[in-house]
Structure 1
Amino acid sequence: MPTDERPETLHVTTAEQVRAVSSLTRHRIMAVLRFEPATITQIAGRVGLAKGSSSYHVRLLERAGLVKVVRTRKVRGVTERYYAMAARSIVLPDTGQGGPDVLMRHAVADLEAAPSAGERHVRMAHLRLTEDQFAELGARLEALADEYRELSDPALPDASLVFALFHPAPGGQAEGDVR
């Protein structure tokens, strides 16, 4: 399946898929495969893993249906496999109230691992919005992310965009906070 024929969205629905995307290493592998296919060797180099470890994680992602072999080629008698994401975007299930948010944990870990000398735009804003304004802002943020995803060029350096628009816990105190 050429990468341009991938479905737009894949919904994570099984326990195997949830376990697969819950790993920060596999999250980073999926980020490598988001824009262009890569071999195990290429993935290992981009993620900073041994080839054996990369192969293990890619096999788990493949078994869960999150990545697929999109082409093969023979190199000195060995079949080289190129992997790509199974869909252009992956939608995680709602974790429910109090559930851990995998995306945010991965985003924070990626931000912490990013070179500190690099340019960053990190901001938190507390807003007071009507439900209509809340919904409109959410839709505008998603549209903006989609617009820039369409402009993405695999030849350019990676950039990550993460946003969370939510209603905080009542009273401004999250579970586990100590006063």
Structure 2
Amino acid sequence: MATDDLPETFHVTTDEQLRAVSNLTRHRIMAVLRFEPATITQIAERVGLAKGSSSYHVRLLERAGLVKVVRTRKVRGVTERYYAMAARSIELPDPGAGQPDVLMRNAVADLEASPADAERYVRMAHLRLTEEQFAQLGARLEALADEYRELSDPSLPDVSLAFALFRPAPRDQAKGDSK
């Protein structure tokens, strides 16, 4: 199965799936598999893991249904498995009150691990928006991400885009947390 034939979205619904996707190493493995299938050896090289560790994490992702074997081939009497994402994107449930957002936590960890001298754009803006403006901006950000995802070419270097549009906790609630 080519990555073009994948379902659009995989909805994380079980605790096992959430635990699997919450781990930073498995998050990075899924990033490797985002555009093209790879073997355990290829995954280990790209993520910087030992083959045994890579195999362990891929098995957990496979058991959770997040990745799957898309083809096999015999190499010197050994069956080589190529793994790919189970869908083009993964949708996580909203975190509960007081729970960390797994996606943003992993995105920040990836940003912190990126080379300090690499080109990157990081910006935070504080805005005051109506409900309508908030919804419009959210839709524009999603459309822009989708537009560039369609332009993605597996032969080009990886680029990660993370954005969060949210309303912060009310000031009185935030003050109450600091007591």
Name 1:158's counterpart in structure 2. 158
User: How many angstroms does 1:177 deviate by?
Assistant: 6.0
- Describe the SS at the equivalent of 1:94: coil
CA gap 1:2/1:96 in 2 versus in 1, 3 angstroms: same
Deviates more, 1:83-92 or 1:164-173: 164-173
Name 1:20's counterpart in structure 2. 20
Letter in 2 for 1:78: V
Letter in 2 for 1:111: L
Name 2:81's counterpart in structure 1. 81
CA gap 1:136/1:171 in 2 versus in 1, 3 angstroms: same
TM-score (norm. length: structure 2): 0.96
Name 1:42's counterpart in structure 2. 42
Letter in 2 for 1:120: R
Query: Would you say 1:149 and 2:149 are equivalent positions?
Result: yes
CA gap 1:113/1:131 in 2 versus in 1, 3 angstroms: same
Asked if the contact 1:65/1:86 (under 8 Å) is kept, the reply is yes
- The number of equivalent residue pairs is 179
Query: Would you say 1:116 and 2:112 are equivalent positions?
Result: no
Query: Would you say 1:96 and 2:96 are equivalent positions?
Result: yes
Runs of 4 or more consecutive aligned structure 1 residues displaced over 3 Å after TM superposition: 172-179
CA gap 1:172/1:159 in 2 versus in 1, 3 angstroms: farther
Deviates more, 1:71-80 or 1:163-172: 163-172
Gaps of 5+ in 1: none
CA gap 1:173/1:110 in 2 versus in 1, 3 angstroms: farther
Gaps of 5+ in 2: none
- Distance across 2 between alignment mates of 1:176 and 1:113: 33
CA gap 1:141/1:172 in 2 versus in 1, 3 angstroms: farther
User: How many angstroms does 1:99 deviate by?
Assistant: 1.8
- Distance across 2 between alignment mates of 1:106 and 1:175: 27
- Distance across 2 between alignment mates of 1:108 and 1:144: 20
Name 2:171's counterpart in structure 1. 171
CA gap 1:21/1:134 in 2 versus in 1, 3 angstroms: same
- Distance across 2 between alignment mates of 1:91 and 1:175: 32
- Give RMSD over aligned pairs: 1.5
- Distance across 1 between alignment mates of 2:6 and 2:76: 30
- Describe the SS at the equivalent of 1:57: helix
TM-score (norm. length: structure 1): 0.96
Asked if the contact 1:72/1:79 (under 8 Å) is kept, the reply is yes
